[in-house]
Each structure stands twice: as C-alpha cells, then as structure tokens.
A and B are shown apart, each in its own frame.
Chain A
Amino acid sequence: MPVIFINGEAVETGEHRTVLQAALANGFYVPHFCWHPELSIVGNCRVCVVEQEGRGVNIACNMPVVDGMRVQTDSEPVRAQRKAMLQFILLNHPVDCGICDKAGECTLQDYHYAYNGEPALSQDPKLHSTKFYPLSDRIILDNERCILCSRCVRFTREVSQSNVLGIEYRGDSALVRPAEDRTLDDDPYSDNVIDICPVGALLSRSFLYQARAWYLEPTPSVCPGCARGCTVQLWHRKPEWRVKGLDPRHNTRILRVTPLENPRVNGPWICNKGRDLGGALERPRAEVAMLKGEPVTTTRAIEAARELIRASGRRVALVSSGGSNEELRAFHSALVANFTTFVKPDHLPQDGEVVEDDLLIRADKNPNTRAARSLFGDSPTEISADTELVLVWGEGADFGAFPRGAKIVLLGSWLAPENGYADVFIPLSIQTERRGHYTNFQGVVSAFEPCCWRPDGVIDAETLFPLLAAPPGSTA
C-alpha cells in the first residue's frame, strides 16, 4: 500500500486513491466545493489545492497518490491560492448570508473566514443573475449564489440518472438549467441537490425561510416510506430556541428531513418521499381511546380489549409491517399464543409514486416487513368465517373483508373513520415519539430515536402488548 507524507506525517493509503481522499480519511482537512465522494471528479472549483514537493501547487481531488510523495495542505502558497480562489468565487456571489437559507451550513462562508476574510478586491458592482428560478415544484435556484461547482448537474447524471440538469451559456454567464424544458419534478431524488449544494443556490421551497440552521438540531431516525429504511435526520427546533409566541406546533414540527449517511443502506441520499416525512407526520393524530366510537380512558379501552380477547373463540391478528423490531417482539412474546397472526402491509404504492427503481426506492412501502415476516411468517392473510375477533395493528386493513359479527380491536395512531367503527380503539405512539429499530429488506438494522413527546392518552405498542396479554382485571 502506498505511503505518502501529508504535512510531514506518514499516511498509508489505498491504491488508486487521490491525495484529497487520503487527506480526508486521515484527519487532514482540505477545503473543497466541487468534489463529492459519490460524484465524478471535475476539479473546477480549484480550492482543494495542496503543495506537492517539487511539483508546486495543484488540486488534490485529481492528484493520484504516488508512494513516497510529500504534500503540504496548508503551506503559504496553498493559502495564497485558496484565498485568490475565494476572491474569484465571491466576486459575483452576493454576500446575503443574513437572508440565505444556507447560512450556518455554507462552506463558502466557512472558507471565507478561514482563508480570506478580507473585503472584496473589486470595487465594481457585482453581476446580477436570475433570482429564484423555479427548477421544480420543490426546488428553486438562485443563480446569483451558484458557484457552478456542477455537483447538482453531476448528481442528476450520475446518481439519479434523470439527466434533468445541465449548464447553459459560458464563462461567468453560465447558468445551471433544466435540459430541454424538463423539470426536476421528473427526478424522485431531486432534493438531494439541495444538500450537496455547497452554497445557498438550491433552495427547498418547503424549508425556505422556515428557520435558521442554528435554531435546529437533528435526531437520527429511519425513513418508514419503504423497505429500504434509509437512515435520516429529523431536524426540529432546539428546546432553547422554542418561542412562546409561535404556534406550539411550529415549535415542535419536523422542519426538514435530510439523509443520515449510511453506506450499508442509502449512502448519502434519500428520495423525495423521505424528505416529506415531516409533513406526513403532521397528519391529525388519534389521541383518545374509544369503545364503539365513544371516548374512554386508555385504561378502560385496554380492559375492554382484554375481555374481548379472553371471551372470543377464533382470534386473528393482523400485525403492522411498520412496527419496530422491539414492538414486533413484544407482540410475539405476549400475544402470539392468543392469535392466528398474519403480517399485513400498512401502505401500498400510491398513484403517481415511483414503485421501485435501481437506486433506493423499493416496491414494499413498509419499513419492517422483513422483521415482521421473520417472526410471524409470510402466509397470505386468511380470515375464516368463524373468526370472532380481529386485532388490527396499524393501517391498511379492509374492515369490509372481516367476517360479519367479528369483534374488532384496532391499534392505531391516526384519526380515521375506522377508529370509531372498531369495538375497541387504542391510540399508539408514532415513530418520532419512541425509540426502536427497523430491519430493512436486506437485513440491515437501523435505529431511530424520539424527538417529540407522546400526547397524553397515547401508549407505546411495546408497552401495550404485555398489558393486553394480562388477564382481565389485572394491573400488570
């Protein structure tokens, strides 16, 4: 394996690596804009320069490692060139950090302070370009902020392969534009370009002006949108930045969802459906237990469910393929003896949704089918006519297919007409209110953490199942 010397320190690297990769992998930070580990090398920002002994200053992203080579990542010529490149980049880039959504997460802002930090050399007015060009229903482009690193263009060519974006015109008139009147709506992964844009040129319409980056904190989670189970970060307001004057929902909303890089599952990407997870979690919640549509306490509803389980003859349970590994195990250990159990999909592909592709999106729109089937088998659901009780956990069950007269216990999280139709309805917590794990279709287990408080009256499924298994009247 080649050994190179970075700032005098010997570093062992793999074959066919670049100096930039070797440096980053060994804790030597080399600033960069256009380079991205998942995209091809174009070397156009010219910021990732290093000084190679005997060969001068050159870009590290396209510099192959050669055994014994010596590079300096922060020498005087390197700093001078970085400073000059930042002066070039900032020549026409508006310094509108005060209203830019990327402020606080912008590498141009960081590098300017690290390597330049001086007033502009040019006293001439900056060039103006298109502000807020609509790339899609989800994304707008501010060409004045664009530094033409071409990460977004390469993403649509190399990763999502929608080939939507290109660059038109030349020189400092060059603009990122959709190719031949297409829009980024054609790309189910389009929002990743917002993340990989190193400046605030590509903006999410849903997140625009919603919050400053430093008001927010991320919670690691798993996208429940399909069997891929992409790891994500749910961004919400930090407790210390909650404002009393705001609508309480605004203080606790999931303001954006971004990928949590995971090489085994989704790399650094997620699809647009995953980005919309925050909105999906804002559906009206079911917070009150019910007996035949009449509100009762959760304790009373649990007691009623126990009685039904005890009193019924043939019992069938439809378990959720969206339950966590822990919840599924809790059901298995507590209730599997009481029920003939089938795994049901909570969600099926919706109209217009990408059913499956070669990148991330899976046809199974439930996050934990594999774990559920490993516990409960994969037999197709059969509810015989003599079934007296059906326990439904989660969504997606067709009550019309149940035998006439069978009692129904429904465990769900969202307001739905079926809640009032069930004999017993018990509200469950949702993913953002509890801790757990999903097993994706490949068998990779990913964890999610809570970021919101459970409403009163709502119970975790993991807590509920042992209670349902206890004899009526017990306090267990």
Chain B
Amino acid sequence: MTGRKVLMDFEVTADSHTLAAYRARGGYRALAKALQTMRPRDVTQEVVDSGIQGRGGAAFPAGRKWQGIDPDDGQPHYLIANADEGEPGTFKDRWVLEFDPHALLESMLLASYALGVRHAFVYIRGEYDRPWRRLDAAVEEAYAEGLFGENILGSGFACDLFVFRGAGAYVCGEASSLLGSIEGTRAYPRNRPPRMTVRGLYQAPTVVNNVETLASVAWIVRNGARAFREIGTEKSPGTRLISVSGHIRKPGVYEVELGYSWAKFLHEDCGGLLCNKALKAVIPGGISSAVLTGKDAKVLTAGEVEDLTLDHEKLRAAGSSLGSGGMIVIAEGTCMVRLLQIMLRFYHHESCGQCTPCREGTGWMHRVIDRIVAGQGRPEDIDTLYHVARFNDGTTICGLGDAAGYAATAMLDNFRDEFEYFIEHRHSKFGGNLECR
C-alpha cells in the first residue's frame, strides 16, 4: 500500500477512461465549481496554496509558475501540457493519458481559466500511440459535450485545445524547445531570460506543465488546497506517480504518497528484486534526474536507498531528486561500466547539437566509454570523463548536457573501482552483465 491517492483512486476498467466514467467519479465538477464560484486568480491561488511542485523533473512550484502570468494583461496566453515523456525509464504520464485523460483535460480547462488562455496545447510524444488515441477520443468527447469551444458550461469562458504529436526527438520534450516544435521550427532549447511566462509560444506568455502536475489540478480545485496539503509531507505535498523498471519483480506505474518509505516501496509494493538479488543501486527519477534541478544528482546505492523516503527534501539532501518519477532498479552483479555506456549512447544520440559543450561533450564521453568497453581504455580516461562532465555542468542551454555529465560523475563517484578494473584488465568485473540472471 503506497499511501493515499490523488490520481489512481479508481479501478481501471475497459471504459474507465471515458467521459461517462470520469463524470461518474466526480469529473468536471471542479470545472463547474470554478466557473460558477471562483475568479481566475482564485484558481491560481488554490494551486499556490496546495504547494504542488512540478512533476516533470524540476519540482518548481506550479502555482508560482502560474503567478508569472497576469491573466488580465490583455495579451494572448498559452498553456501547454508537456506529454512528451521521453526520459529513459519514465512512463508515468502514459498512465494518465491512457486511463484518465479527462482528468488532464478538466485540469487544463481550469488552468486555462486561471491563466486567461484561449488556446491550449497538449504536446504528446509521437511514439505514444495508444495514449494519443485515448486522449484524442477524450478531446472529441469533451468537445461534443460543450466542454471545449465557446461559452463553456454557459459561463462565457471559451477555450480550444490542440493535441500536437511530437517529432520523436528527446529534446522536443524540453519545455522551451517544444515551443519551436509547435511553431514549426527545429526543436532547439531557448536561452533564458526571457522566461517562458514572459515570452513563450509565438512570443506570448506561456505556461508549460507536466501532465501529472496539470492532472492533479482538478483534484485540488474539487477537494481544496488544504486537502491536498494533508497528503504527503509538509514540504512535498501530494503524491507522485512513479514508473518502476529494471531488475524488479513488479515493474509498472505506482502512485506513491510523498514521504513514503523507499525500502518498503521497493521490497513490498514492487515485490522486491528479480532473481532474489540484492539491490546495487537505484536511478531515482529517470536517467536525467537532475536535468532540471541543476543539483548534482547521482545514482543512489543500496545503503542510501534503505534509509530514504520518497520526497523532494530527503532526496535533495541525499544529492539526488525524484526527477521525472522514472525509477530504475539495478541489482547486484550489474556492470555499471556498460550501463553508463548505454546512458551515454542515449545522450550522444539525443543531443540536439545546438550548443558546444553538449554537442561535443556527449560524443566525447560516449567515444571514451565505448573504447573502455572495447578493452582499449586508458587510465587517463576517467579524468577525461570528469573533465568533460565538469564543463558540461551548467554551461549548456538546456539540461541534457548537464545530465550526461551527472550520469558519468555519479557512476564514477560510486563505482570507480569497476571502471579502474575494466581499464586495467580490459574486461568487465561483472562479465559485462546487464541482465538479472
């Protein structure tokens, strides 16, 4: 039992994603309540009071982000639900899109009302086929019921929603570069300043929120900020959807009350490790856990995990973060050198190539680790990886370059002996093993 629920508080059935089922469990009541009894700023204040932090990785307070937009400034504003879930190990938003799409749509209507948004977007990962079909069907249902378009629920409020399928590059999911993808240009991250709430999509103030963050808004408005605050911890209110994969018996998406015991989650709720192996390490929140936090996130070793709870403050103190909620469990006997090789291959392949350190650094690190794995490592390679990682840290436009560096330094910091062994003996200490046997 992972604690109280916000999003997964119903039984998934063959039609639980439909409008009828959503209405039956109280759906769209929050919208009616807001349109009838609340001013737009009241909705924003409710989100501020709830203390909900962004669920995409940065954990930035969502309400504060919304406060960056003045709904009455006379400008067009845009809202984008970032459903481009490309982080390796992360597939928790997929659950919302497939099984509770109306929670997202209702929340987007509430956010649009709060922010003065006439046109909202869902930017969904191109590879997500079933989630896209479910979402698309839900949008059709909502339009048919007059929940989008003009004069919603007779309130005079108007909002249209566009579902935009992503182009298949990891960086398209980076909040600023997906703006370019929608605008029809190459999805390159944008420099800040200006913030997106000042100049975003089509140069207009824009809020980009993660799917899970937005989907929670309907619950918050329906039940009140105080009810939300009662869940989780004082500094990390609410719940998190966590997608668990790796060497674990029961991989999948779980909703966890923040502050929940990590050890209990892994060993009881997720059934423990495959093959009865001992835990070696956990990548806590997608392989780029720290992409947006700028902290020196790291792979957590088994000993560190045992004492931790799943919440932002504890993980931050441990030098990591909940990131995108994509938890990867690694069992004893896994070769961390080869694991790092896979991670660096990903970063190299997905680097958009816009800024120098990421473009060159990810490729540099990938080639070095490839050489080590090929048995041609040199003792100075470890220093080279540190050097590249150091100068990728904080020098790039978006967080991808940082994340690549974090991955390398985290592995080297925790498992340096494996790298030294590989270089010295020209083969893996664990036979190059990545599977649980």
Contacts and interface: CB of A to CB of B under 8 A. Distances in A.
A84 B355 CA distance: 13
A42 B364 contact: no
A472 B26 CA distance: 110
Interface in B150-180: 169, 171
- 9 smallest CB-CB distances across A and B, nearest first, come from A174-B353, A84-B391, A171-B351, A88-B360, A172-B363, A44-B355, A62-B191, A43-B191, A171-B353
Contacts of A85: 356-357, 391, 395
A84 B360 CA distance: 11
Interface stretch (A120-128, A195-203, A435-443): A120-128
Contact of A88 (B348, B352, B361): B361
Interface stretch (A95-103, A162-170, A368-376): A162-170
B305 to A, nearest CB: 32
A456 B360 CA distance: 59
A170 B349 CA distance: 7
A321 interface: no
Nearest to A172: B363
A172 B391 contact: no
A43 B191 CA distance: 7
A44 B354 contact: yes
A192 to B, nearest CB: 22
Contacts of B355: 43-46
A220 to B, nearest CB: 35
Given A44-B354, A91-B364, A171 B193 contact: no
A43 B387 CA distance: 22
Interface in A31-59: 41-47, 49, 56-57, 59
B360 A172 contact: yes
A124 B368 contact: yes
Contacts of B367: 124
Contact of B395 (A46, A121, A127, A171): A46
A227 interface: no
Contacts of B351: 170-172
B159 to A, nearest CB: 32
B359 A174 contact: yes
Interface string A62-79: 101000000000000000
Contact of B363 (A43, A46, A166, A171): A171
A192 B397 CA distance: 27
B391 A171 contact: no
Main secondary structure of the interface of A (DSSP, over half): loop
A173 interface: yes
B362 interface: yes
Given A42-B191, A85-B391, A172-B363, 6 more contacts: A44-B397, A46-B355, A46-B396, A89-B360, A172-B362, A173-B353
Interface in A239-266: none
Nearest to A64: B193
Interface in B297-323: none
A73 B192 CA distance: 20
B186 A167 contact: yes
B350 interface: yes
A57 B390 CA distance: 13
A88 to B, nearest CB: 4
A87 to B, nearest CB: 8
Nearest to B186: A167
A90 to B, nearest CB: 9
Contacts of B359: 88, 148, 171-172, 174
Contacts of B361: 88
Nearest to B353: A174
Given A88-B357, A91-B360, A148-B359, A171 B348 contact: yes
Nearest to B364: A91
Contacts of B397: 43-44
Contacts of A183: none
Interface of A: 41-47, 49, 56-57, 59, 62, 64, 81, 84-85, 87-89, 91-92, 121-124, 127, 147-148, 150, 166-167, 169-174
B407 to A, nearest CB: 16
Contact of A171 (B186, B362, B368, B384): B362
B220 to A, nearest CB: 34
Interface in B353-405: 353-364, 367-368, 371, 378, 384, 387, 390-391, 394-397
23 contacts: A41-B191, A43-B397, A44-B355, A47-B356, A49-B395, A62-B191, A84-B395, A85-B356, A85-B357, A85-B391, A88-B356, A88-B359, A89-B356, A89-B360, A92-B363, A122-B384, A123-B378, A124-B371, A166-B186, A170-B353, A171-B350, A171-B352, A172-B362
Contacts of A81: 391, 395
Nearest to B348: A171
Nearest to B192: A62
Nearest to A62: B191
Contacts of A127: 363
A81 B391 CA distance: 7
B93 to A, nearest CB: 24
Contacts of A44: 354-356, 397
Interface in B317-336: none
Contacts of B171: 170
Contacts of B357: 46, 84-85, 88
Nearest to B376: A124
B353 A121 contact: no
B349 A45 contact: no
Nearest to B347: A171
A338 to B, nearest CB: 63
A166 to B, nearest CB: 7
Contacts of A87: 391
B319 to A, nearest CB: 20
Contacts of B395: 46, 49, 57, 81, 84-85
Contacts of A150: 354
